[in-house]
Structure 1
Amino acid sequence: MPLLHISLRAGKPEAYRQAIFDGLYRAMRETFNVPEDDQFMAATEHEAANFRYGASYLGVARSDDLVFIQITANDTRTLDQKKALFRRIAELLGDKPGLRPEDVFVSLVEVAKENWSLGNGVAHYA
């Protein structure tokens, strides 16, 4: 049950943002075994003054098209699954909406399964 927060610079069209959602969902389905319709994502746009990044940190040449993707997910995936997810996200977002791999920044936050309530005040995975 991943929860995704996407942050990007303001000004991209709706189709661009929807392509990011679609690519992320597909990557999670293919690499993290996410069930059908398990889509919980929010995108936040930021003006230039409110969006800062290291343009060359760790030798990666980033641009103003940089997208921050924070994924909160159960701590049940293997290292190979995580690597496959990161790689697949970069590939799919390269296809649509055309992001360079250097501009795809992913952070995975892992939590215990019992730390979720998906509605109705129920601990669904506990």
Structure 2
Amino acid sequence: MPLTRISLRAGKSVEYRKALTEGIQRALIEHCKVPPDDIFMLINEHDEGNFVFDRQYLGIERSDDLVVIQITFNNTRTIEQKKAFYKEVVENLAESPGVRREDVFINLVEVLKENWSFGNGIAQYAL
């Protein structure tokens, strides 16, 4: 069960935000073997003063359209899976909604399965 947080500048359309989630989910399904209906995504929009980043970090020119994607999931993926996942997310978002490749920033947070709680009033662990 990945938890995806997407941060971007405020003002994008519902269609734009939907295209972001769909492009990320397709890559999760393809490369991380996530079931199609296993989707938990949070979109956070920020005004200019609350979305601060280095526009030239590592020599990459970033614009106001930067999209920061942070995904928390189990630490069971190989480096090859992660690389293929990164590549597909960038390709998917370039295709729709048209995010420049330089404006996709992905951070994976890997946790042990026993660190997940799935709710229903009490902590249930996926052991």
Q: Which structure 1 residue ranges, 4+ long, deviate > 6 Å from structure 2?
A: none
Q: CA deviation at 1:86?
A: 0.6
Q: Which amino acid aligns with 1:48?
A: E
Q: CA deviation at 1:117?
A: 1.5
TM-score scaled by length of structure 1: 0.97
Q: Distance in 1 between matches of 2:103 and 2:47?
A: 17
Partner SS, residue 68 of structure 2: strand
Which residue in 1 is equivalent to 2:126?
125
Q: CA deviation at 1:119?
A: 2.1
- Identity over aligned pairs, percent: 54
Q: Distance in 2 between matches of 1:85 and 1:123?
A: 29
Q: Distance in 2 between matches of 1:123 and 1:111?
A: 16
Partner SS, residue 71 of structure 1: strand
Which residue in 2 is equivalent to 1:23?
23
Q: CA deviation at 1:71?
A: 0.3
Which residue in 1 is equivalent to 2:79?
79
TM-score scaled by length of structure 2: 0.96
Q: Which runs of 5+ in 1 are unaligned?
A: none
Residues 115 and 123 of structure 1 are in contact (CA less than 8 Å); yes or no, is this contact kept in structure 2?
no
Counterpart mapping for 1:31-46 below 5 A? 31-46=31-46
Q: Which amino acid aligns with 1:21?
A: T
Which residue in 2 is equivalent to 1:54?
54
Q: Distance in 2 between matches of 1:87 and 1:30?
A: 12
Q: Distance in 2 between matches of 1:33 and 1:56?
A: 33
Which residue in 1 is equivalent to 2:109?
109
Which residue in 2 is equivalent to 1:92?
92
Residue deviations 1:3-58 (CA, integer Å, cap 9, x gap): 00000000001100000010010010010000120000000000001111111100
Query: Could you tell which deviates more after superposition, 66-75 or 111-120?
Result: 111-120
Q: Which runs of 5+ in 2 are unaligned?
A: none
Q: CA deviation at 1:122?
A: 4.2
Length, aligned pairs only: 126
